[in-house]
Chains A and B, each alone.
Chain A
Amino acid sequence: MSMDKATVANIARLARIRLNEDELELYAKELSGIMGWIEQLNAVDTGDAEPMSSVVERLLPERADVVTDGGIQEDVLANAPDTAHGYYVVPKVVE
């Protein structure tokens, strides 16, 4: 499967990445190459194989339902460009 420039432009927009015309061309070519490689993988019949999610056999670790964190408003807001009254302040986003 080959990727056209319009598809690449759409993916870039969804990911909030600005690409110029030359870059669209470049990434269309690169992504087409990657998709071709995936197509090759897809040719293998994996119908009977369990999807492998990890190379080590282990289960999802779980935590107890106990409040152990939070109460660090200052730390949480420390890197924000702008704050007020304990809130993050960002350019207005209205629906």
Chain B
Amino acid sequence: MSGLLIEGSTGTWEVVVGLEVHAQVTSNAKLFSGASAEFGAEPNSQVSLVDAAMPGMLPVINTVCVDQAVKTGLGLNAAINRTSVFARKNYFYADLPQGYQISQYEKPIVGEGVVLVDLPDGSTKEVGIERLHLEQDAGKSLHDQHPSRSYIDLNRSGVALMEIVSKPDLRSGDEAAAYLTKLRAILRYLGTCDGNMEEGSMRCDANVSVRKAGDPLGTRCEIKNVNSIRFVKQAIEYEARRQVEVIEEGGTIVQETRLFDSRQGVTRSMRSKEHAHDYRYFPDPDLLPLVLTEERIETIKASLPELPDAKKQRFMEAYGLSAYDAGVLVAEQETSGFYEQVVTSSGDAKLAANWVITELFGQLNTAGKPIAESPVSAAALGQMIARIKDGTISGRIAKDVFAEMFATGKDADAIIEEKGLRQVSDTGAIEKIIDDVIAANQDKVAEYKAGKDKLFGFFVGQTMKASQGKANPGMVNEMLKAKLG
């Protein structure tokens, strides 16, 4: 149970959340024009006369944007609508030169679907998808460059977005965060959106309401444009508590749009938008209905990659991993690919999982590097694990070898040779070290023989220390037992 329950003065409240995610479609050109959709260019340098809404310009849809929306729909286990219709959503704003956004209203390209969300407690929850539709992004307004003027850049104007609307199935900020994490992973696996929230290629609006258990849905407030998963969680938790407070003090919730202030962790009413909710949608007369053939849908279906849920299942079955480890490894496609290469080159799936999750992630985290920039390649890590398996080095020494590999980029064999770290498995050599340890600690030997069993660890420690950690620990244990009787 990961639902957030709020104890109010009049009883227990349940939180109900639905999310609208705007995901920028990965494409070269915009949805209806041939201008580039790339991020970060000079202002107004990626604007065609269509995007600037010059009179007489007509939109022509980008075929890849359509395919990407269908692919995403299939990845969300959703119904693909064979016919969908573009509509105009009318409103006035300085960064919307057309005076309307081309969107889809009554007939979206993708209908109902479902996402399996992995919750923090290890359980999973099905979250319904209401719809996915294609629409144009607006331009960007800068309000802080001049005291009395706003600056407008239309580079984003006309870039393709997928609006993905969930059903109100989420019951807490944690569940919302888990849903976003999963949705982002699916989009990234599919290659239909890069999921980069800082650059705004994934943005989220949250519809939040509260109710007593079993009651019908309460009035919702929409929190706009929250730009990180952490903030979505914070915004929902704040907003739910605010609503409970308002209701319990005898007030009512007004349906409204609110903004999340991430610095103060509060939501605030956006009064200016209250009046503007009548968008007067109508079918765009410049665009015919979009008809998808079965053949086109089948071709896209055939191009789907293995998605996180299927991969996680396979990792558990084929490699014997726990649900948790498998989940960590499939969260990012790069990580799962890296892991599988380590499995191939090491020949040990479980050791590979331990080393990738514990040592590699640990070092990458400390160094602040993504896995793509790991100084240790998958092949090199696999080779090192193979050296543990064939007894060349112990697991303990391997940690030092790995740290050295990470710092220098050298391979395991070179470091083992250079530093003389090869594990000593020669009976004669180990026996000599043990004899020296026993000779130097006669008093402890006597205590041990008198029944102080705990001292065994001391002898192991001394022997390992004398061998500079290189003695084969298994052999040390066995031989010490024999010697001490």
Using a CB–CB cutoff of 8 Å, the interface residues on chain B facing chain A are: 27-29, 33-36, 42-50, 52, 60-66, 85, 90, 92-94, 141-143, 145-154, 259, 270, 272-273, 276, 278, 280, 283, 287-291
Residue-by-residue, is A67-83 near B (CB-CB < 8 Å gives 1, otherwise 0)? Answer: 11111110111000010
B44:A73 contact, CB within 8 angstroms: yes
B150:A86 contact, CB within 8 angstroms: no
B27:A87 contact, CB within 8 angstroms: no
Give the residues in chain B near A91, CB-CB below 8 Å: 148-150
Residue-by-residue, is A52-64 near B (CB-CB < 8 Å gives 1, otherwise 0)? Answer: 0110001111111
Q: How far is the CB of B278 from chain A (nearest CB, A)?
A: 6
- Give the docked Cα–Cα distance between A14 and B286 (Å): 22
A88 within 8 A of partner (CB): yes
Grouping DSSP codes into helix (H, G, I), strand (E, B) and loop, the B interface class, with mixed when no group exceeds half, is: loop
Given A53-B288, A65-B29, is A84 in contact with B94 using a C-beta cutoff of 8 Å? Answer: no
A67:B148 contact, CB within 8 angstroms: no
Specify which of A60, A68, A87 lies most central, judged by the most chain B CB atoms within 10 Å of its CB: A87
Given A63-B62, A95-B270, is A89 in contact with B44 using a C-beta cutoff of 8 Å? Answer: no
A70:B289 contact, CB within 8 angstroms: no
The total number of A-B Cβ pairs within 8 Å is 136
A43 within 8 A of partner (CB): no
Q: Sample 28 A-B pairs with CB under 8 A, ordered by A number.
A: A14-B278, A53-B289, A62-B66, A64-B63, A65-B62, A65-B65, A67-B28, A67-B34, A68-B29, A69-B35, A69-B49, A70-B36, A70-B45, A71-B46, A72-B48, A76-B49, A86-B42, A87-B44, A88-B154, A89-B146, A89-B152, A90-B94, A90-B149, A91-B149, A91-B150, A92-B146, A92-B148, A93-B93
Q: How far is the CB of B465 from chain A (nearest CB, A)?
A: 64
Given A86-B43, A88-B44, A92-B148, is A63 in contact with B36 using a C-beta cutoff of 8 Å? Answer: no
Q: Total interface residues on A, using CB and 8 Å?
A: 37
- Give the docked Cα–Cα distance between A76 and B154 (Å): 10
Q: How far is the CB of B60 from chain A (nearest CB, A)?
A: 5
Given A90-B94, A95-B272, is A62 in contact with B62 using a C-beta cutoff of 8 Å? Answer: yes
Give the residues in chain B near A90, CB-CB below 8 Å: 94, 149-150, 152
B289:A60 contact, CB within 8 angstroms: yes
Q: How far is the CB of A16 from chain B (nearest CB, A)?
A: 6
Give the residues in chain B near A88, CB-CB below 8 Å: 44, 94, 151-154
Q: How far is the CB of B259 from chain A (nearest CB, A)?
A: 7
- Give the docked Cα–Cα distance between A93 and B143 (Å): 7
A70:B143 contact, CB within 8 angstroms: no
Given A70-B46, A73-B45, A93-B141, is A63 in contact with B270 using a C-beta cutoff of 8 Å? Answer: no
